Amino acid sequence: MKNRQSGSRADIYARITERIVADLEKGVRPWVQPWSAGNASERITRPLRHNGEPYTGVNVLLLWSEGIARGFSSSTWMTLRQANELGAHVRKGESGATVVYASRFTKTEKDASGDDVERDIPFLKTYVVFNRDQVEGLPEQFYRRPEPAVEPVERIAHADRFFANTGAVIRHGGSKAYYSPAGDFIQVPGIESFRDAASYVAVISHECVHWAGAPHRLNRDLSRYHKDLTDRAREELCADIGASFICADLGIVPELEPRPDHASYVASWLKLLDGDRRAIFQAAAHAQRAVAYLHDLQPQAETGREAA
């Protein structure tokens, strides 16, 4: 067994950003996965830990990208120790995927007056996980085929309920999709204007992430969205990632056919990531908060798969 990230302890932020950039340069948004019968034998979901808990934030992007690149059919990942504790083993010669864990430590420093003050220092740890397809001898439940996915019509109805439960005002008409901060409403074309219902859900999901960032909700600073191209790129990156999280949580394949504005967005994201190695982490974290906020607005009985 070997860890492909072993060796250099290069800057974690730079290393992961370079990976995301490499995907974007190929025209692939690593958070929009081409789920199909060929590479997803299980139901659509976020990457899952061995105990069924979904991964969050940037780890979702990393493991989606890894799973697609290596053709894994399973969404479940685990550490070597977790596999061993389950009485299983990782096949010889398999290489793992790197995921990150945010933590912090307290450091005591002197302030200007010479007094001791404690300061929290955030940092990232990395660890290695393996896909279920790389592990042999797991308990039977890890190999059982999942229950059949809900019929597409039911999934779309579930999505409609999800958006209705948020309380967001969604207006239909016109040819553009956007969130209006001034009017605090979402505008989208009618569903008949979209290629399919899943694409319609993906676009509303995107706009709902914008909506969640309003000052009286999560209070993401959107004041310079129309004035500063960098701020706009940050917000659109957050919304695009968040939309894919929502689609996965609702069991819906995100749109694969790019919107007309995606080419310019990708160009702006590449420029942003080139100048800020932490931007993808911040965007994924903001997306995670927005999606969790939207899930928190759901009635408890209907929250089947929470964003975690």
Backbone angles phi, psi at 240, to 5 degrees: -70, -45
263, two tokens: 């080419």
67, two tokens: 């799973």
The pLDDT value given to residue 12: 85
Pick from 122, 50, 63: which is nearest to 97 by CA?
63
Pick from 158, 156, 186, 157: which is nearest to 172 by CA?
186
Q: By the 8 A CB rule, do 76 and 142 touch?
A: yes
pLDDT bucket at 163, cuts 50 / 70 / 90: very high
Strands of 185-188's sheet in order across: 170-172, 185-188, 178-180
For residues 4 and 295, which has the higher predicted lDDT (pLDDT)?
Answer: 295
Directed axis angle between helix 279-296 and helix 229-250, to 10°? Answer: 50
150, two tokens: 């809900």
The listed range with the strongest mean pLDDT (6-10, 60-64, 301-305) is 60-64
Give the C-alpha distances (Å, rounded to integers) separating 216 from 150, 167, 181, 211, 213. 35, 13, 11, 10, 8
User: Does residue 101 sit in helix, strand or coil?
Assistant: strand
Examine the pLDDT at 271 and tell me if it is beyond 70: yes
Examine the pLDDT at 136 and tell me if it is beyond 60: yes
pLDDT tens-digit readout, 193-224: 888 888 899 999 999 999 999 999 999 988 88
pLDDT bucket at 307, cuts 50 / 70 / 90: very low
Residues listed for the chain: 308
**What's the whole-number average pLDDT of the chain?**
84
Q: What distance in Å separates the CA atoms of residue 226 and residue 106, rounded to the nearest whole number?
A: 39
pTM of the model: 0.81
Q: 């940050």: which residue's tokens? A: 234
pLDDT bucket at 115, cuts 50 / 70 / 90: confident
pLDDT tens-digit readout, 27-47: 778 787 655 434 444 567 899
